[in-house]
Structure 1
Amino acid sequence: MTKYLVKRLLRGLVSVVIVVAIVMTMIYSLMDRNLIFAKDNTYSHQKNNSKVTYAYAKWEEYGYLDYVSYADYLQALTNKGEIDEETRSSVVGIGRTADKDSDTVKEYVAQFKDYYESKGYTIKRLDAVMMNGKKIADGGQPQLFAYKDVPLWTRMCSYFSKLITIDSVNNVENIVGERGISFTLHDPVYGGDKFSPAIIGNGTTHKYLLYFDNKFPFVHQNIITINLGTSYSVNEGVDVFKTMNSAQGSYTKSLITYPTGLQENSADDLHTATYVKNSLKTSLVYEARYTDDYTNVDTTKSALSKVGFSFVIGLIASILAYLIAIPLGIMMARKKDKLIDKIGTIYIVFIIAVPSLAYIFLFKAIGGKAGLPTTFDLESTSKLMYVLPIISLALPQIANLMKWLRRYMIDQMNSDYVKFARSGGLTEGEIFKKHILKNAAIPIVHDIPATVLYALVGAIITERVYVVPGAGNLLTEAIGKYDNGVIVGVTLFYAVLSVVSIILGDILISIVDPRISFSSKDR
């Protein structure tokens, strides 16, 4: 079994890599890269040469290419000490055209071209755009830069190498005090008067590496961080994993004791503090609250995260579907062609034949007439707003489970071993419980892990109709906004869930039926 699982896991990981590679190829090679500016208001307001350089800078940000401006090159030389600031200032301004460059500027421009051409970059110079031949037009300043497309293999290696990061005491510079990790039984966040163990770092990206609180799962860690990719439009500047798992809604304030001893009613979550270089010196607010540069904190909010909403709705809908579909499917099989079977078949055909959007809107209208909430409200504490989305999600699952359980059971009832059992004197009840139901349940049981895990990704149509702030709409929103980071990150998330669900399904059916073994023996 162990050998099988290892092989299955390795094949799954290879499949995940292949899926991500295909998606990256489609995004970065087959799609027009100009599409990322379709809803970029900043781009639409740029003019002339500024619009071109803005596009190249964004393409670099989105992972299409490496982009280096002439000004960046000179700044790098200054940082290395190869030229001083005065020299940089005197040669950073290029002429309106190449022939208008001063001799000194020409020298550095030539160095810039030689250096980057030797590394495979393409050099591009944009002459000044003039207005009436006398004045430089808006955004028409001359530009000089180098660029090189990033190969798919390099992009993939970079993505997977940054997928998981581990916090270290050497992650940040210019810290106050000695680098290291300390353990306390009395978390300072609670004023030090409450028993609450915590591991605190100095020199790490996160101040709190491990801590406890009253929120599920109660034990939290920042030692290992998952980075699915940075969003550029859906949730600008935030990683996809954090976007899916961050709380939503209004701020939840409580009495907070800051490291300086200052107490305020605030929504700041001090357990999320991360390091920001020299931040303490730049803000009087920070100076009044913090004793070091761990000043960047998230806020606590009243509602669940995107994944939280999707999982709660999806899980309850799945449990409801199994509780209803299994007994009905069994009754349909045992009373084949009778009234209960015909009614169940009508329901199954209805769910299959009618588009899901149609019956979702139908039940939304019926629910609205009955006084149930038809849209989600993050500020509402009413649980009734979950009712209609759960019912809409459960309906197709019930039909699907009834259909397959009925089919599996009828197939088993017509098997030779059932006829043999009857001839051996076993009653219909014994045959049903010991043989038919057990064998027919195996395919159904295999799908249980997938049903549970897929609840994490949400349901696109249901969440849109009921305005559920879940994860189901994240991928479609990212595609609509050409947010490459989110598209790749969510695809990876889906692929990993698929692999894990298949492996867990295999384990589960081997537990349910010991006759199923995944180990191979030499004969």
Structure 2
Amino acid sequence: MTKYVLKRLLHGLVSSFVVVTIVMIMIYTMLDRNLIFAQDNVFKNYGNNEKTAYMYRKWEEYGYLDLLTYQDYLIMLQEQGELDEETRVKAASIGKKPENDSELTAEYVQKFQEYCDANGYTVVRCNAIMVSPKKYANGGAQQLFASKDYPITHRLITYITSLFNVDNIHYVDENIDIGERKITFTLHDPVYGGNTFAPAIMGNGTYHKYLLYVDKQFPFVHQNLFTLNLGKSYAVNQGIDVFDTMTKKQGSYVMQTTTFPTGLTEESADDLHTAVFSYGSRETNKVNSDRFTDDYTSVNTFKNGKSKIGYSFSIGIIAVLLMYLIGIPLGIAMARHKDKLIDKIGTLYIVFIVAVPSLAYIFLFKAIGGKLGFPTTFDIQATSKMVYVLPIVSLALKPIADTMKWLRRYMIDQMNSDYVKFARSGGLTESEIFRKHILKNAAIPIIHGVPAGILGSIVGAIITERVYVVPGAGNLLTVAINQYDNGVIVGVTLFYAILSVVSIIAGDVLISIVDPRISYTGKAR
């Protein structure tokens, strides 16, 4: 069994990365890269050369290309000792047109061109756009930069190698003076005043201040040493990693008495355990200097709602429970009373759910629920759990029908089997035959889908969450596609693919436990 699971897991991971590769090829080669500016208001406000430069900067952020500005090239030469500060400043001033360059500037522009040609960059020079001899047009200042498109293999390798990050004391630039770089262990976490028994591992020189800590929130022991990086969002949740977007809590701030490292105590929503390094943040912000003793000042906040995955899973897992608690008994009843009233009523329900588009019956039940007094729009701040009722019911309608349909079919197929006829001839009652033989065999395909149903709850339901405005993970992918947020599209695709692989393997393991006739060892039992 272990060998089978490892083999399937390896094949599944390979398949997941193949899917990611296909998605990357579609995004970066088949879609017009200009589409990312469709809803970019900043882009719309720029004009002329400034708009062109902005386009290239955003293309670099979205992973399309590597951008090298003329200014960056000169700084590189200065760092290499090939020119001094005074020369760099003089050479940095390019003319409105190439013929307006000074002799020094022209020399270094030529070197820039030669460097770019040698390294596969394409140089872009935008001449100044003037409305009069001394006045630039809006965004018409001259620009000089070069770009090089990334090959798909580079994108894929970079993405895979940066998926997992292990924090270490060399994260902070070695040129920054932060004192002794070290990992420390304490039994009394300073966040709790240093008097409470709360083990913690902290770092200096690491990205996270707290690498491991204990608090009162499930699962009580938390770590920042190993982090998953699915890719950053540039539109849906700008600058935030996809995994963080799905797992960070939402809602209103939760204020509590907080003692900061400087000893200042006040009501704050800051979660000090999430502190990450932000160079120079104390010098540029007095609020930080009043609260923190080092540059680990960037923190998340406590909020009263769930994360996107939290809301999706809460609704989805209850819908899964309803699917089995309602669908299985009704499916059994329909099979045992074939062509009777309950079978006809169940068949009518199944036909309705299958025939009517899901969007239509969800709106229908939303209207009915609204008439009955149930909230029709999800509200994070609502104290009543009634906001969950309609989304859960709407999400459970189709799975219940599917469970009824397939269980009825499997059981009726089993009823005509030879072993059932043999059991009848042996004197077993119909109840015993159904319970001990027919149901057990017919339930195997249903059991195989249990892990998929549970894990599928994490990713949410696109239509249901949109209709009821649930702030879950279900519509994250569609929103990212609409906004051409490449990082989110790739990250969510990989997340969904891995969940699918795990659910299939878990289903295989589960049915082998339920039915001893199924073996993955290759040996007959």
Please indicate, yes or no, whether the TM-score normalized by the shorter chain is above 0.5.
yes
Cα shift at 1:132: 4.3
Whether the 8 Å contact between 1:175 and 1:203 is mirrored in structure 2 is: no
Q: C-alpha separation between the residues in 1 aligned to 2:179 and 2:330?
A: 67
Cα shift at 1:186: 1.4
Instruction: Find the residue that maps to 2:251 and give its secondary structure.
Output: strand
Superposition pairs for residues 249-288 of structure 1, below 5 Å? 249-288=251-290
Q: C-alpha separation between the residues in 2 aligned to 1:310 and 1:219?
A: 24
* Partner residue, 1:520: 522
2:350 to 341, 348, 356: 348
* Partner residue, 1:23: 23
Q: Deviations over 1:477-509 (max 9, x none)?
A: 111111111111111111010000001001111
Q: C-alpha separation between the residues in 2 aligned to 1:522 and 1:449?
A: 26
* Partner residue, 2:129: 129
Q: Which moved more, 1:408-417 or 1:296-305?
A: 408-417
2:481 to 479, 489, 499: 479
* Partner residue, 2:430: 428
* Partner residue, 2:141: 141
Cα shift at 1:134: 5.3
* Partner residue, 1:109: 109
Instruction: Find the residue that maps to 2:309 and give its secondary structure.
Output: helix
* Partner residue, 2:311: 309
* Partner residue, 1:33: 33
Q: C-alpha separation between the residues in 2 aligned to 1:521 and 1:349?
A: 43
Whether the 8 Å contact between 1:191 and 1:257 is mirrored in structure 2 is: yes
Q: C-alpha separation between the residues in 2 aligned to 1:270 and 1:175?
A: 22
Q: Deviations over 1:299-348 (max 9, x none)?
A: 11110011000000000111011101101000101111111100000000
Q: Which moved more, 1:60-69 or 1:135-144?
A: 135-144
Q: C-alpha separation between the residues in 2 aligned to 1:67 and 1:305?
A: 35
Whether the 8 Å contact between 1:36 and 1:483 is mirrored in structure 2 is: yes
Q: C-alpha separation between the residues in 1 aligned to 2:40 and 2:78?
A: 33
Q: Which moved more, 1:301-310 or 1:413-422?
A: 413-422
Q: C-alpha separation between the residues in 2 aligned to 1:182 and 1:149?
A: 44
Cα shift at 1:287: 1.7
Runs of 4+ in 1 over 6 A off after TM superposition: none
Q: C-alpha separation between the residues in 1 aligned to 2:470 and 2:187?
A: 40
The one-letter code matched in structure 1 to 2:34 is N
1:181 to 180, 183, 204: 183
Q: Deviations over 1:142-190 (max 9, x none)?
A: 2221111100010000001111101111111435442221222211111
Q: C-alpha separation between the residues in 2 aligned to 1:164 and 1:19?
A: 19
Q: Which moved more, 1:349-358 or 1:150-159?
A: 349-358
The one-letter code matched in structure 2 to 1:57 is R
The one-letter code matched in structure 2 to 1:500 is V
Q: C-alpha separation between the residues in 2 aligned to 1:407 and 1:463?
A: 31
* Partner residue, 1:66: 66
Instruction: Find the residue that maps to 1:238 and give its secondary structure.
Output: coil
The one-letter code matched in structure 2 to 1:438 is K
* Partner residue, 1:195: 197
Instruction: Find the residue that maps to 1:302 and give its secondary structure.
Output: coil
Aligned CA distance change for structure 1 residues 294 and 112 (closer, same or farther; 3 Å): same
2:421 to 419, 422, 426: 419
* Partner residue, 1:172: 172
* Partner residue, 2:14: 14
Aligned CA distance change for structure 1 residues 281 and 135 (closer, same or farther; 3 Å): closer
The one-letter code matched in structure 1 to 2:103 is D
Instruction: Find the residue that maps to 2:458 and give its secondary structure.
Output: coil
Q: C-alpha separation between the residues in 2 aligned to 1:81 and 1:304?
A: 53
Alignment size in residue pairs: 523
Q: C-alpha separation between the residues in 1 aligned to 2:266 and 2:133?
A: 61
* Partner residue, 1:76: 76
* Partner residue, 1:362: 364
Q: C-alpha separation between the residues in 2 aligned to 1:132 and 1:199?
A: 64
The one-letter code matched in structure 1 to 2:141 is Q
Instruction: Find the residue that maps to 2:145 and give its secondary structure.
Output: strand
Q: C-alpha separation between the residues in 2 aligned to 1:480 and 1:394?
A: 27
Q: C-alpha separation between the residues in 2 aligned to 1:134 and 1:198?
A: 63
Q: Deviations over 1:229-248 (max 9, x none)?
A: 10001101100100010110
* Partner residue, 1:391: 393
Please, which runs of 5 or more residues in structure 2 have no aligned partner?
none
* Partner residue, 2:44: 44
The one-letter code matched in structure 2 to 1:267 is A
* Partner residue, 1:224: 226
Cα shift at 1:192: 1.4
The one-letter code matched in structure 1 to 2:185 is F
Q: TM-score normalised to the size of structure 1?
A: 0.98
Instruction: Find the residue that maps to 1:160 and give its secondary structure.
Output: helix
Instruction: Find the residue that maps to 1:209 and give its secondary structure.
Output: strand
Please, which runs of 5 or more residues in structure 1 have no aligned partner?
none
Aligned CA distance change for structure 1 residues 175 and 499 (closer, same or farther; 3 Å): farther
Q: C-alpha separation between the residues in 1 aligned to 2:288 and 2:250?
A: 25
Instruction: Find the residue that maps to 2:519 and give its secondary structure.
Output: coil
Q: C-alpha separation between the residues in 1 aligned to 2:167 and 2:109?
A: 41
Cα shift at 1:522: 9.6
Aligned Cα RMSD in Å?
1.4
Q: C-alpha separation between the residues in 2 aligned to 1:81 and 1:225?
A: 38
Q: C-alpha separation between the residues in 1 aligned to 2:45 and 2:76?
A: 30
Whether the 8 Å contact between 1:69 and 1:145 is mirrored in structure 2 is: yes
Whether the 8 Å contact between 1:230 and 1:239 is mirrored in structure 2 is: yes
Instruction: Find the residue that maps to 1:303 and give its secondary structure.
Output: coil
